[in-house]
Structure 1
Amino acid sequence: MDIASIIGLIAGVFFVLASILLEGDIWSFANAPSVMITIGGTFSAVLISYPLKKFLNSFKAIVHIFKDTDLNEGTVIKRIIDLSNVARKEGLLALEEASEEINDDFLKKGVLLIVDGTDPELVRNILETEMAFIENRHKDVQGFWENIGAYGPAWGMIGTLIGLINMLKSLDDPSTIGPSMSVALLTTLYGSLLANFIAIPISNKLKVRSAEEVLLKEVMIEGLLSIQAGENPRVIEEKLKAFLSPTLRNDLSKNDGEEEEDKEGVA
């Protein structure tokens, strides 16, 4: 579970509600016509922009901002080093049995391509093509939420115009000015909240998730090709560490040192 997304969501709701309650009544900020104009209008526009299947799939992607990734760079590098040790001791064909314990489909596919004796250049092309299409699918989903972020304030302005028109039509009746002005301002508020508290943050979190996944796949590709080339596991590890930040490199080196101490203690 991604704690940052949960904390951000709870904190945002708290600060908005607290600011409302400190100055007035929360029910004065609830208005059904404003919700219909802003929320309904925004999602109607997005429905026009996307096929229904892509709309539903992109909307479901919201769950990914609350999930932690199963793999990280350090875990992937360790797994690749383990595979390289198997290949060095028992040969590339032994990787087929080792692949049965791999849960990541991308890494498993690469291992099986190597076991089948596929040309290294072809292995790279196949995996990079798959990675490119995964990245394109991610961009489609990110664009979906970016569009919601763009349409929300626009529909808020449409609601504002509707409220102002209703207000100007009824200037002879002062009792209608307040409710009409309320709708006008609340639609702008709802549109801004929809864009800046929901849609744009979701799009940004999905971009971060996508960048992490692409980096992992680049590490996998480089590691698998190094295994196929018969490189030394230590050389492979140092090569893959180039993909990591200095902090992650230090953490990985520290973990390696702890594992070696554990092995010596057992011996």
Structure 2
Amino acid sequence: MDILSMLGLVVAVAGILGGQFLEGGSINVLLQLAAFLIVIGGTLGAVMVQHPLNIFLTGIKMARWVFVTPKIDKQQLLYRMTAWGNVARKDGILALEGQIKTAGDPFVQKGLQLLVDGNSAEKIRAVLDIDLNTYETLRWQAARVWEAAAGYAPTIGILGAVLGLVHVMQSLGEPAKLGAGIAVAFIATIYGVGFANLVFLPIAGKLKILIAREVVLREMAIDGLCMIANAENPHFIENKLKGYIS
């Protein structure tokens, strides 16, 4: 669980609600189901129109990364690559066949299988680079789903405000209701701007950081496997891969 993400969301919401309370406003006035449905429904629909199904669903699934961060352990990968380099140097590449199932990451498993099959470092890199490019492209496009939502939400919020004002204009014969009606109308704008800047943009930004880390981890794996294929000294493998660890 990413405590910082949870804490950040709580602090943001508490700051807004606390400010509303200190200004003497009622928190209940911010709870408008109609405005919520307009903003969320309109934004969701616009995002669905913009993106293909696989990218849209990947973006939705990846949102959990913000709170449940995928494990990215460069130190463990460094240890494994160095150990595999030692085994390959002493007992030959085929001795690594028993390590394939325990490698964990399907990407590393595929690379290890290519290595055991006797492929050259150039062929291993060529195959894994294609996999990495496909992985990276899909994830970046999925992260942009949330960027798109952040772009649409404020505009949909303005649309909700205009719809609310239209409803208010129909009640001009009852002046006592105008003030409250106008206030409610602008709640949709608050929802649009709030969701865009407190939820959608932060999710997109966090996903980009995590995707970049995943890509670096896979580049590290490719380098390690290629060095093993070239029968590099395990100490050289270790020292080179340490450069990936800050």
Q: Does 1:107 align with 2:108?
A: yes
Contact 1:31/1:183, CA 8 A, preserved across alignment:
yes
Q: State the alpha-carbon separation in 2 of the partners of residues 100 and 239 from structure 1.
A: 26
1:85-143 CA distance string (max 9 Å, x none): 11111111101112232111111111110110113211101101000000011012111
Moved more, 167-176 or 66-75: 167-176
Q: For 2:19, what is the secondary structure of its paired residue?
A: helix
Task: Name the amino acid aligned to 1:61.
Answer: M
Give the superposition deviation at 1:172: 4.4
Give the superposition deviation at 1:38: 1.2
Q: State the alpha-carbon separation in 2 of the partners of residues 239 and 56 from structure 1.
A: 37
Q: For 2:70, what is the secondary structure of its paired residue?
A: coil
The aligned residue for residue 62 of structure 2 is 61
Q: Does 1:4 align with 2:20?
A: no
| Inter-CA distance 189–131: structure 2 relative to 1 (3 Å threshold) | same
1:54-98 CA distance string (max 9 Å, x none): 433422221111123323222211111111111111111101112
Contact 2:121/2:225, CA 8 A, preserved across alignment:
no
Moved more, 231-240 or 38-47: 38-47
Identity, in percent, stands at 36
The aligned residue for residue 198 of structure 1 is 199
| Inter-CA distance 105–11: structure 2 relative to 1 (3 Å threshold) | same
The aligned residue for residue 126 of structure 1 is 127
Q: State the alpha-carbon separation in 1 of the partners of residues 149 and 240 from structure 2.
A: 41
Q: For 1:71, what is the secondary structure of its paired residue?
A: coil
The aligned residue for residue 264 of structure 1 is none
The aligned residue for residue 151 of structure 2 is 150
Give the superposition deviation at 1:37: 1.7
Q: Does 1:26 align with 2:42?
A: no
Moved more, 44-53 or 84-93: 44-53
Q: State the alpha-carbon separation in 2 of the partners of residues 173 and 100 from structure 1.
A: 74
Contact 1:33/1:183, CA 8 A, preserved across alignment:
no
| Inter-CA distance 84–158: structure 2 relative to 1 (3 Å threshold) | same
| Inter-CA distance 68–33: structure 2 relative to 1 (3 Å threshold) | closer
Q: Does 1:97 align with 2:95?
A: no
TM-score, with length taken from structure 2: 0.92
TM-score, with length taken from structure 1: 0.85
Q: Does 1:177 align with 2:197?
A: no
| Inter-CA distance 82–71: structure 2 relative to 1 (3 Å threshold) | farther
Q: State the alpha-carbon separation in 1 of the partners of residues 226 and 53 from structure 2.
A: 40
How many aligned positions are there?
245
Q: State the alpha-carbon separation in 2 of the partners of residues 206 and 57 from structure 1.
A: 12
Write the mapping of 1:223-242 to structure 2, written as runs, cut at 5 A: 223-242=224-243
1:11-66 CA distance string (max 9 Å, x none): 22322232233333211111222112211211121222234554334222211111
The aligned residue for residue 168 of structure 2 is 167
- Tell me: higher relative CO, structure 1 or 2? Use CA pairs within 8 A at least 6 residues apart: 2
Q: State the alpha-carbon separation in 2 of the partners of residues 218 and 52 from structure 1.
A: 28
Task: Name the amino acid aligned to 1:5.
Answer: S
Contact 2:120/2:229, CA 8 A, preserved across alignment:
no
Q: Does 1:37 align with 2:38?
A: yes
Q: State the alpha-carbon separation in 1 of the partners of residues 176 and 13 from structure 2.
A: 32
Give the superposition deviation at 1:171: 3.7
Task: Name the amino acid aligned to 2:80.
Answer: R
Q: For 1:100, what is the secondary structure of its paired residue?
A: coil
1:201-246 CA distance string (max 9 Å, x none): 111111011000000001000111001111111111111122233x
Q: State the alpha-carbon separation in 2 of the partners of residues 124 and 30 from structure 1.
A: 54
| Inter-CA distance 219–52: structure 2 relative to 1 (3 Å threshold) | closer
User: Where in structure 2 are there 5+ consecutive unaligned residues?
Assistant: none
Alignment RMSD (CA, Å): 1.8
Give the superposition deviation at 1:190: 0.2
Moved more, 115-124 or 178-187: 178-187
